[in-house]
Structure 1
Amino acid sequence: MEKWMLIDGNSVAYRAFFALPPLTNASGLHTNAIFGFTTMLLKLLEEHKPTHVLVAFDAGKVTFRHEGYSEYKGGRQKTPAELSEQFPVLKELIASFGIAQFELSGYEADDIIGTLTKQADEQGVDAIVVSGDKDMLQLSSARVTVAVTKKGVSEVELYTPELIQEKYGLEPGQIIDLKGLMGDTSDNIPGVPGVGEKTALKLLHEYASVENVLDNLDKLKGKLKENMEAHRDDALMSKKLATIFREVPMEREIEEIRYGGYEPAKLSEAFRKLEFRSLMEKLELSGEGGATAAEAKAAAAELKMTALESGAEAADWERLLGSLADSERHGLYIEAIGENPHHSELIGVAIATEDEVFVMSMEAVREEAAAKFREWLADETKPKYGFDMHKAELAMLWAGLKLGGAAFDVQLAAYLLDPTDSALSLSAVNDRQGFGGVPSDEAVYGKGAKFKVPGGETLQRHLALKADAVRKLVPIVTEELANRGMSKLYFELEHPLARVLAGMEHQGIKVEKAVLEELGRTLEAKLSSINSEIYSLAGTEFNINSPKQLGEVLFEKLGLPARKKTKTGYSTDAEVLEELARYHDIIPHILNFRQLSKLQSTYVEGLLKEIREETGKVHTYYRQTIAATGRLSSQFPNLQNIPIRLEEGRQIRKAFVPSQPGWTILAADYSQIELRVLAHISGDDNLKEAFIHDMDIHTKTASDVFGVPAEQVDSNMRRSAKAVNFGIVYGISDFGLSQNLGITRKDAAQFIEQYFSVFKGVRKYMDDIVAQAKSDGYVTTLLDRRRYLPEIKASNFNLRSFAERTAMNTPIQGSAADIIKLAMVQMDEALRERKLKSRMLLQVHDELVFEVPPDELELMKKLLPEVMSGALKLDVPLKADVSFGDNWYEAK
């Protein structure tokens, strides 16, 4: 049975554009309207399963309606460029779906759809019309349902004649009378002044049509009667303008819009260019091959796959090792289930050579027959080419196995090629390179409550496809790194760093449980005292952690001025409370209560849960592929976020101690590394002079900006200079500086202007780097790390401004991140060369933390700052301050 789906392309795309946040792909093309349209289309195709589909578009700005009324649609604002640029690409995507599209000069999409629905009525065929415009309701009939988008484009409301009657008390044909009376500002249809929807409906319920209303003006009264008499012609013209023309000369046969489904390969290629990875996963598309689950199975069937299960004989493992020896290049994939590698479960290993893929269960790998294979895995002289080898190495270490000889990691390379891409699963990287055949883990394992690792051939096939994908990807991403000048960054920094991190993470840092527990008791006592003080000042007891109850106490009971309101009540966020601090003594206590509560729950109780029973240590996990600037991210637990502004937060560091009796915690912290990088990159003489002569940079800045000798710089001047110094690194605005210093935006703007008049080299750098980013589309760090900035050319001011600030600060922050990573690699080499027992334990922002035996302390106190200050040669000296003690607290 036939079912037609007729889509108003312009209307739906327009709705999607304004409903979704700005999206762009790597080339800078805006894609939010296309994404929203596609999401809606897929949902409708699935739900309604049409046999015929057409997307109709407006052919131009001038239609036959303009002949009678030149102001038709005249009030509309110009289509945003960010939307206009999407229409040609949207039309290409519709073609990739295999869906017909049509436009005709002089007519609107409504008219084309109206003509086809008339044919559907005449032929007794069911049809569904999809639009964001309720004008289309006039087309509803026994055969035609009108789907109007709501909540952007994620949902539609299906209008039948029955629903129109229920909602409006009208027949579908009366919708044009409704528009005739009330007009439509979006189309510049005038209607009758003073007549809104409520009045128009009342008139139509009584008189049925515009013409009948006009024939009964003597029964109307007052202003309504005057307006109807004065605007008789407008009402009739408005009705005519709102009437969809249903006699468009189509010159197309219905068979031309028959829909037979999409070709996975075509649609996959279109999605890949647009970077619609979530939709690719949803449809189980993959690369040029457009792999569905069935096609992935077929792809795996083409591989020669050998499964080595428990009981495999030594001869089977010999054949694997022989195949590896004969292979020019292999792909290794180790599947560790679980985000935290310290607690992951190893479920299998796959190795792909040119001729065959070997898939091994972990049970088989552990057996005696596999001893030589385990030796190969651990052998540092045998190169391994894999994916996320950092995680694999850690997971294997905890399983009592060793992975040595990592030669190349596809995931790490993919991150360097686009550090803003959060989709770094193997299937996503594979898709991006245009290969097919690898379904996502979610498609194979499920997610959430439905997550389950399949057994047997399904798992073997999945691991085999992954290993083969790694084998194919290695030369391609290696070449891309070389083409973009990032081979040195990969092979001399990021790749060796991964091994350093795995060693640090497995080593862990000892945490004294008793110290944390005692600190917890102290915090509990303080919280109890603050709690009582808050109740006393409030004059009532309430749940301080409940924003709703706190808002009622502050703004209703105590009568403090309410700043912001949310859907659930008064806002009591930190910004609001800080603004209220001058109004009531209760506020500082609430802020203190919140800070101490977070310390107690997140850092005291949280760290206690993370202590590994068998080691007495916490083992964090450093992610190299998260931050776009190149900074490391710490997880499970996050040891970079332990708050040290509060003394109680600093006290937490007392629990971090050496793992050996008599050893010492040694820490070294880069001094103002980002400002030193700025001095080098900008070449500003004033900044360089300050660091070359080891001046206090904030005093020097204050002296220059305020025009006073250094000895006359007071604490407020220095504080202002410090705020602007660090603010410049992050592209601070006058608003941001005014908030930091509690001054007016005008004064803040003047201060920034004065800063740039003194540090002219910094201003020139800021201007030049933005211009370079607009020209190249990316910026680089001192070690050639790239960050792409497609929004730098956006017409939207906010998007463009953010990209410009990112262009300014990425080379500074990214270079600082590169330098401390370089120091870590060089320190690891220094420790090994000197055969020292000292161990690197943590990296926290610009700080490195070690545990050191007593006989190496003096050497390490000299070696660590030497390596850190010499990690990269700059035009100004790098400086690292060293401290030490019995715990991390004392080392600071």
Structure 2
Amino acid sequence: MSTLLLIDGSNYLFRAYHGLPPLSTSTGEPTGAMRGFLGMLGRVQGMVKPDRAVVVFDAPGKNFRHAMYPEYKANRPPMPDDLRVQIEPLQKVLPDLGWPLLVVPGVEADDVIATLAQKGRAEGMKIVIATGDKDMAQLVDENVTLLNTMNTKFYDRDGVIEKYGVPPERIIDYLALMGDKVDNVPGIEKCGEKTAAKWIAQFGSLDEIKRRADEVKGKIGENLRKGLPFLDEARKLVTIKNDCELPVSGLADLDFRTPSAEALRAFARRWEMSNETILRALPPGMRARVKTALEAPNESPHEAGVTGSLFDLGELDAMPAPVPVPGDTPRKTAVEPAAAPQAVDVGTAERVARLQGAIGASEAGDAPDEVPFTRVEDPLQLADFAARLADASAKSEFPAGIALHFEGDCRHARLAGVAVALSPKDVTLVLASESLPAEAIAAGLSAWFASDAPKVFHDAKTMLHVLAAAGVPVEGRVDDTMLMDYVVEAHVKHELPKLAARYLARTIPERDVVFGKGAKRKVWTDVPREEVEKLLAEEAAAVRAISSVLGSVLHADEVLWPIYDEIERPLLKVLFRMENTGVAVDGFLLARESEELGVRIDALEAEAERVAGTAFNLSSPKQLGKILFEDLKLPVLKKTPSGTPSTDEDVLTELALDYPLPKIVLEHRRLTKLRSTYLEKLPRMADPVDGRVHTTFGQATAVTGRLASSDPNLQNIPVRTEEGRRVREAFVAERGSVIVSADYSQVELRIMAHLSKDRGLLDAFARGEDIHRSTAAEVFGRPIEAVTPDERRMAKVINFGLIYGMSAFGLAQNLGIDRRVAANYIDAYFTRYPGVKRYMDEMRALAHEQGFVETVFGRRLWIPDIKSGRKPVQAAAERAAINAPMQGTAADVIKKAMIVVDAWLRERKLGARLVLQVHDELILEVPEGEVELVKTEVPKLMREAADLDVPLIAEVGSGESWEAAH
């Protein structure tokens, strides 16, 4: 028996919209519903494996039910704008994917599906209806099954009875009794699912219920009798029509069609979706035949708004370098867009198109299938290549694009191959071999890497580590396409294949595809050599071409260019040196602290067992949930998506106010996490060569510009607790040196004063007052000298809470006070500091208007969720719009400080070294003889890193450990 799949497209669309976060393109256009919908298509066709199918959407406008009952669906809120704009492109791409589509005016999707199901029955087909709408259960019979989109379960007749308590033939009666709040169909007041099912089981049918309504006692009986006049109307409204006139001649019209790879490529580029997203949504049996065509070089780049791939630029080799050599001042070049990218409505593709047009993109040729490259296979060819590089670099200011392949951790990497692109079509590569081992490659190219020749990498910091491990120093100007893209659009992903697709309209190989990942990752020598060569050649050519585009985008923007050229680009070498240096850790101290913490953890487990009355695993949410909510009968505050009571931190924190066991569990979680994350893990992460811990600084991670720390993450050590401070005690200096800590004081509040221009805050900082004491005096209306420690603590919460967008409810929770009192505190704060309120309002409005806000230095902080139709998401975006300029400016300030401090240390040829950066703090390891000099000069350099309307203050301390330096 063949299978007909009928998909309730409207239901799927809303499920996708509400089931995913508000995803968007790099220019802020919403795509979450489309992405979710395409993913759901792939799942449902894989589960059903249909012979025929159709996706059915509700048509816009009214239908026959509105004529029956004018109030039908009258209470529905308008469709969110960020969902509405996704409907047209989604419906347009479905036929391109090969899926039949129906949108029939005057009837609903339910009625179209019922009519098609009736036709399928007549032809003896098995019918699966994919929907989350309970109304559809009335269609189930021996031929028709429902596939519920919410739990991916199939429902036959028995399944409907199990789920709803009534058989499919009584679903109409069941719905009429309950009514439908979503569609504004009145039912019997207070009659829910259980009552409706009970009455049908008792009386048999709606007609019998009407006839014997007097037998129903109590208030619910009164409600039944009061609602009797509308029951027949309600029954008509919830009955699905199965005899609609449809624009199909027969079920043959529901055969899958041949997908259009050309149209799908255009869709993927336009909406910035991966080929895999598209392939998953294809009908059964279509993936293999479309995959090759979809991943083939683009034959019509104009469809994406791109005038041609940069691999085809006829004038690229001759163009002047858009990135100046050291010492140059930013200048306009011949490569200049019509206007700098200032607003969210100017998309990346449009900017690239203008740039490519400006530099003379070839209109005639398509992107070649492969990048042409020259192999270097012996020492003589390597020497010739090195000489050619030196000659080419002397003649051109434009950086050479470089791609490396290596095995292992980057700091201990084994170099395997190098590819250099002097232009996108002039690529030379060398892979290690018996005749040309890695050591010979490194030695042969070392002089060029150490020269003043400009170079560009993708993720340059990692590449510098790889070359350093091979004994190859890198000098001259170093650019980084990852950082270029990060400055232009921090909120998107910056992997090289994504940049190639975005800026070059080109698909290049992905390393995880070529080599595999995780446990399945292959050693490069186990991969066909031609695949490795193609990967490196494509990467080097892409880096060279992308740097041309992004260099021009940045150079044409007098605000963004300094962010890249004066902050991010010089910082990468500072971070490279810091990562190489690492920090010493006392493993014995950590081991002792781990043992002590283990005793406390054991005691907590014993106490939890005593309170619970039984032994259980405190780390098991399932066992903990049973103890809390079944055995101890504690109130259920929240449920997980699967419907079980939640035991997350928020729930336990609230329960801990009244019950002992949640408090014990929270403390157990805190200590076990600290122990496993730092006390046990840090000693194992020490480098076997130098015994030091080397964190990795993520420079292109946070949209605010903040640096991230990973492997290990040293920014999350809980310094407010005694246990966390003891972890910092383990970060020590080598013998003969001490740790110096220089920490900006209240930098975000100072930035708030600068941004808001609030006279009260500016004056308080100018007078050098304790800002929290000053705020307490203002909010509580008392002389500053009369402020109590408790009032200062509350003012500190208000100061920091408001810059993070804390509401009166949040402030009340934080301070443990009544919500109305908290609201009064906030009102008093804004009365005393009206500039702060004005700033917050302006930032919200600016984010809505242009999609981004800016730091003091001009870094763009994109807020894509500001366009969300979901109020909680939009509210969070508005809070981010208020806080991001402060966080982002603080990030810029500390980065500028790192650059000047590092330059001063190197210029003075001191032994002191920057070893860590954590939030607003710099940590240095300093020889004992240099301590006083460093403690005097570093705070001064940090103060001078930025010129704000309020003074920057850096507090400095020293000691044998990081903690002792505070």
TM-score exceeds 0.5: yes
Separation in structure 2 between the aligned mates of residue 778 and residue 292 of structure 1, nearest angstrom: 37
Following TM superposition, by how much is the alpha carbon of 1:815 offset from its aligned partner in structure 2, in angstroms? 0.4
Counterpart of 1:576 in structure 2 is: 652
Following TM superposition, by how much is the alpha carbon of 1:824 offset from its aligned partner in structure 2, in angstroms? 0.5
Q: How many residues align?
A: 873
Counterpart of 2:467 in structure 1 is: 396
Separation in structure 2 between the aligned mates of residue 813 and residue 292 of structure 1, nearest angstrom: 45
Counterpart of 1:427 in structure 2 is: 497
CA deviation vs aligned residue, 1:440-461 (integer Å, no higher than 9, x gap) = 4444344444443534222332
Counterpart of 2:695 in structure 1 is: 620
Counterpart of 1:268 in structure 2 is: 265
- Aligned partners of 1:520 and 1:604 also within 8 Å: yes
Counterpart of 1:629 in structure 2 is: 704
Counterpart of 2:833 in structure 1 is: 759
Counterpart of 2:14 in structure 1 is: 14
Q: In structure 1, the residue corresponding to 2:739 is in which secondary structure? A: strand
Deviates more, 1:371-380 or 1:276-285: 276-285
Change (3 A) 1:64 1:330: same
Counterpart of 1:305 in structure 2 is: 373
State whether structure 2 residue 101 is matched by structure 1 residue 101.
yes
Counterpart of 2:508 in structure 1 is: 438
Following TM superposition, by how much is the alpha carbon of 1:22 offset from its aligned partner in structure 2, in angstroms? 4.0
**Structure-1-length-normalised TM-score:** 0.85
Separation in structure 2 between the aligned mates of residue 163 and residue 533 of structure 1, nearest angstrom: 45
- Aligned partners of 2:269 and 2:505 also within 8 Å: no
Counterpart of 1:814 in structure 2 is: 888
**Structure-2-length-normalised TM-score:** 0.79
State whether structure 2 residue 259 is matched by structure 1 residue 259.
no
Alignment-mate amino acid for residue 35 of structure 1: R
Change (3 A) 1:64 1:456: same
State whether structure 2 residue 413 is matched by structure 1 residue 416.
no
Following TM superposition, by how much is the alpha carbon of 1:552 offset from its aligned partner in structure 2, in angstroms? 7.7
Counterpart of 1:332 in structure 2 is: 402
Following TM superposition, by how much is the alpha carbon of 1:472 offset from its aligned partner in structure 2, in angstroms? 2.2
What are the within-5 Å matches in structure 2 for residues 215-230 of structure 1?
Answer: 222-223=215-216
Following TM superposition, by how much is the alpha carbon of 1:417 offset from its aligned partner in structure 2, in angstroms? 2.3
Separation in structure 2 between the aligned mates of residue 163 and residue 666 of structure 1, nearest angstrom: 68
Counterpart of 1:463 in structure 2 is: 536
Following TM superposition, by how much is the alpha carbon of 1:621 offset from its aligned partner in structure 2, in angstroms? 0.5
- Aligned partners of 2:482 and 2:496 also within 8 Å: yes
Counterpart of 1:385 in structure 2 is: 456
Counterpart of 2:545 in structure 1 is: 472
Following TM superposition, by how much is the alpha carbon of 1:394 offset from its aligned partner in structure 2, in angstroms? 2.0
Deviates more, 1:793-802 or 1:237-246: 237-246
Alignment-mate amino acid for residue 302 of structure 1: E
Counterpart of 1:349 in structure 2 is: 418
- Aligned partners of 1:192 and 1:235 also within 8 Å: no
Of the candidates 676, 679, 689, which is equivalent to residue 604 of structure 1?
679
- Aligned partners of 1:281 and 1:439 also within 8 Å: no
Following TM superposition, by how much is the alpha carbon of 1:465 offset from its aligned partner in structure 2, in angstroms? 2.4
Counterpart of 2:478 in structure 1 is: 407
Query: Alignment identity in percent?
Result: 36
Following TM superposition, by how much is the alpha carbon of 1:721 offset from its aligned partner in structure 2, in angstroms? 1.5
State whether structure 2 residue 846 is matched by structure 1 residue 772.
yes
Separation in structure 1 between the aligned mates of residue 63 and residue 771 of structure 2, nearest angstrom: 67
Alignment-mate amino acid for residue 576 of structure 1: L
Deviates more, 1:17-26 or 1:544-553: 544-553
Change (3 A) 1:177 1:701: closer
Separation in structure 1 between the aligned mates of residue 200 and residue 615 of structure 2, nearest angstrom: 54
State whether structure 2 residue 405 is matched by structure 1 residue 358.
no
State whether structure 2 residue 935 is matched by structure 1 residue 875.
no
Following TM superposition, by how much is the alpha carbon of 1:723 offset from its aligned partner in structure 2, in angstroms? 1.4
Change (3 A) 1:595 1:6: closer
Alignment-mate amino acid for residue 332 of structure 1: I
- Aligned partners of 1:342 and 1:395 also within 8 Å: yes
Alignment-mate amino acid for residue 86 of structure 1: Q
Separation in structure 2 between the aligned mates of residue 190 and residue 634 of structure 1, nearest angstrom: 57
Counterpart of 2:321 in structure 1 is: none
Counterpart of 1:151 in structure 2 is: 150
Change (3 A) 1:573 1:253: closer
Alignment-mate amino acid for residue 473 of structure 1: I
Q: In structure 2, the residue corresponding to 1:614 is in which secondary structure? A: coil
Deviates more, 1:638-647 or 1:611-620: 638-647
Following TM superposition, by how much is the alpha carbon of 1:697 offset from its aligned partner in structure 2, in angstroms? 1.4
CA deviation vs aligned residue, 1:802-853 (integer Å, no higher than 9, x gap) = 1111111111111011101001011111122222222111111111111222
Following TM superposition, by how much is the alpha carbon of 1:751 offset from its aligned partner in structure 2, in angstroms? 1.0
Alignment-mate amino acid for residue 506 of structure 2: G
- Aligned partners of 2:22 and 2:868 also within 8 Å: no
CA deviation vs aligned residue, 1:209-236 (integer Å, no higher than 9, x gap) = x8xx67x999999459998999699549
RMSD after superposition: 4.4
Q: In structure 2, the residue corresponding to 1:716 is in which secondary structure? A: helix
- Aligned partners of 2:939 and 2:956 also within 8 Å: yes
Q: In structure 2, the residue corresponding to 1:747 is in which secondary structure? A: helix
What are the within-5 Å matches in structure 2 for residues 43-192 of structure 1?
Answer: 43-45=43-45, 53-73=53-73, 76=76, 78-117=78-117, 119-120=119-120, 129-133=129-133, 135-136=135-136, 145-151=144-150, 155=152, 157=154, 186-187=182-183
Following TM superposition, by how much is the alpha carbon of 1:197 offset from its aligned partner in structure 2, in angstroms? 4.4
Following TM superposition, by how much is the alpha carbon of 1:698 offset from its aligned partner in structure 2, in angstroms? 1.5
- Aligned partners of 1:554 and 1:560 also within 8 Å: yes
CA deviation vs aligned residue, 1:548-603 (integer Å, no higher than 9, x gap) = 7777888899998887787766848477357646776x887766555444443322
Change (3 A) 1:531 1:863: same
Q: In structure 1, the residue corresponding to 2:923 is in which secondary structure? A: strand
Q: In structure 1, the residue corresponding to 2:296 is in which secondary structure? A: helix
Following TM superposition, by how much is the alpha carbon of 1:733 offset from its aligned partner in structure 2, in angstroms? 1.5
Deviates more, 1:474-483 or 1:874-883: 474-483
Change (3 A) 1:70 1:290: same
Following TM superposition, by how much is the alpha carbon of 1:70 offset from its aligned partner in structure 2, in angstroms? 4.4
Following TM superposition, by how much is the alpha carbon of 1:129 offset from its aligned partner in structure 2, in angstroms? 4.6
Counterpart of 2:380 in structure 1 is: 314
Q: In structure 2, the residue corresponding to 1:804 is in which secondary structure? A: helix
State whether structure 2 residue 318 is matched by structure 1 residue 250.
no
Change (3 A) 1:872 1:648: same
Separation in structure 2 between the aligned mates of residue 564 and residue 640 of structure 1, nearest angstrom: 30
Following TM superposition, by how much is the alpha carbon of 1:265 offset from its aligned partner in structure 2, in angstroms? 3.7
CA deviation vs aligned residue, 1:455-475 (integer Å, no higher than 9, x gap) = 422233233322222222112
Alignment-mate amino acid for residue 553 of structure 2: E
State whether structure 2 residue 899 is matched by structure 1 residue 825.
yes
Deviates more, 1:265-274 or 1:296-305: 296-305
Of the candidates 490, 494, 501, which is equivalent to residue 564 of structure 2?
490
- Aligned partners of 1:19 and 1:151 also within 8 Å: no
What are the within-5 Å matches in structure 2 for residues 828-847 of structure 1?
Answer: 828-847=902-921
Change (3 A) 1:380 1:493: farther
Deviates more, 1:313-322 or 1:869-878: 313-322
Change (3 A) 1:156 1:691: same
Following TM superposition, by how much is the alpha carbon of 1:248 offset from its aligned partner in structure 2, in angstroms? 0.5
Change (3 A) 1:538 1:254: closer
Separation in structure 1 between the aligned mates of residue 61 and residue 234 of structure 2, nearest angstrom: 19
Separation in structure 2 between the aligned mates of residue 330 and residue 458 of structure 1, nearest angstrom: 22
CA deviation vs aligned residue, 1:78-101 (integer Å, no higher than 9, x gap) = 544444343223223325435443
Separation in structure 1 between the aligned mates of residue 132 and residue 69 of structure 2, nearest angstrom: 24
Alignment-mate amino acid for residue 267 of structure 1: L
Q: In structure 2, the residue corresponding to 1:634 is in which secondary structure? A: strand
Separation in structure 1 between the aligned mates of residue 15 and residue 829 of structure 2, nearest angstrom: 45
CA deviation vs aligned residue, 1:851-873 (integer Å, no higher than 9, x gap) = 22233333222221111010011
Q: List gaps (5 residues or longer) in structure 2.
A: 300-366
Q: List gaps (5 residues or longer) in structure 1.
A: none
What are the within-5 Å matches in structure 2 for residues 793-812 of structure 1?
Answer: 793-812=867-886
Q: In structure 2, the residue corresponding to 1:783 is in which secondary structure? A: coil
